Amino acid sequence: MADPAPALRFSVPLSATRRGARLARLLAVEQLRSWGLPFEPARLLVAELAANAVLHGRVPGRSFRLTLAVVPPATLRIEVTDTRGDRLPVRTPDGGGPLAESGRGLLLVAELADRWGVEEGPVPCKTVWAELDLGPAAER
């Protein structure tokens, strides 16, 4: 049997630009506020996942999608879908080394999220997701 649809769901396409990534963060904060949920550390997770979609998943003329959903029992699921399914995130234990100019974002995601991962498809897409356990106060 399939999981029931989330009671709270928000999904929006955004331009694969720095402005789109910034808008993803701002929209996420406002949506979480409207649901009465805390927006930290979700704000940081959205910012990092959206920035990665713009930097590593950008295809000219195509957008990325931000989805927020509260799923049972009390989990906030953040998804960022882009159209570069051929470029999957690489988990590096040290973030690329001490002199690397990038590569630490997924370390931040791993530290802040209770769980995270990547789902491939449908072609040509991939979805990078992170989940936060909300606790009993968020159950509705």
User: Distance (Å, rounded) from C-alpha 104 to C-alpha 17?
Assistant: 20
Q: Residue 139: what pLDDT? A: 47
How far from each other are the two terminal CA atoms of the chain, in whole angstroms?
A: 21
Q: Residue 128: what pLDDT? A: 96
Q: What is the DSSP letter of 7?
A: S
CA atoms within 13 Å, Cβ hemisphere of 53: 34
Q: What is the pLDDT of residues 49-87, one digit of tens each?
A: 999 999 988 888 889 999 999 999 899 999 999 998 788
pTM: 0.85
Please tell me whether the peptide bond between 13 and the residue prior to it is cis, using omega within 30 degrees of 0: no
Q: What is the pLDDT of residues 1-47, one digit of tens each?
A: 555 666 799 999 999 999 999 999 999 999 999 999 999 999 999 99
